[in-house]
A = this chain, B = another copy of it.
């Protein structure tokens, strides 16, 4: 039986050892829109502050990379190393769970482009845009 896009997203979230620590959760895939959704519940070791449940910017940046790569890899059907990321922080990420949506804007022969938005399902905390390699594995 062929792997579905959701199977591929689940696998993307599991393979790298770093993900076993971060524990992003595959939440959904929309093949029409070429969009993936990943969740990340808050834990104290993801925090910027000892006093407030606010996600650290470094965690948000890592999540942009992971979810952007997932959107590129799911529809490319192979790993797509990250070439570049642009990350814009709009407001403090205070939430019990992050929702990260990544939409594949372009699947080219050499590079792919992905737009990522991290929020709480209501408002955006961070906007990301990434370029991923689709041709060969070397940059």
Q: Write out, one digit per residue, whether chain A residues 108-139 have a CB within 8 A of any chain B CB (1) or not (0).
A: 11110101000000001001010101011011
The interface residues of chain B lying within 8 Å CB-to-CB of A115 are 127
Q: Closest Cβ of chain B: how far from A122's Cβ, in Å?
A: 15
> With an 8 A cutoff between CB atoms, is A73 at the interface?
no
Which residues in window 30-58 of A have CB below 8 A to B? 44-50, 56-58
Contact B139 A89 (CB under 8 A): yes
Q: How many residues of A contact B (CB 8 A)?
A: 53
Contacts of A91 in B (CB 8 A): 106, 139
Copies in the complex: 4
Q: How far is the CA of A10 from the CA of B91 in the complex (A)?
A: 26
Asked if A84 and B81 make an inter-chain contact with CB atoms under 8 angstroms apart, the answer reads no
Q: Is the CB of B87 within 8 A of A84?
A: yes
A17 within 8 A of B: yes
CA of A33 to CA of B60 in the docked complex: distance in angstroms? 27
A138 and B113 within 8 A (CB): no
Chain A: residues with CB nearer than 8 A to chain B? 15-18, 20-22, 44-50, 56-59, 61-66, 69, 81-91, 105-106, 108-111, 113, 115, 124, 127, 129, 131, 133, 135-136, 138-139
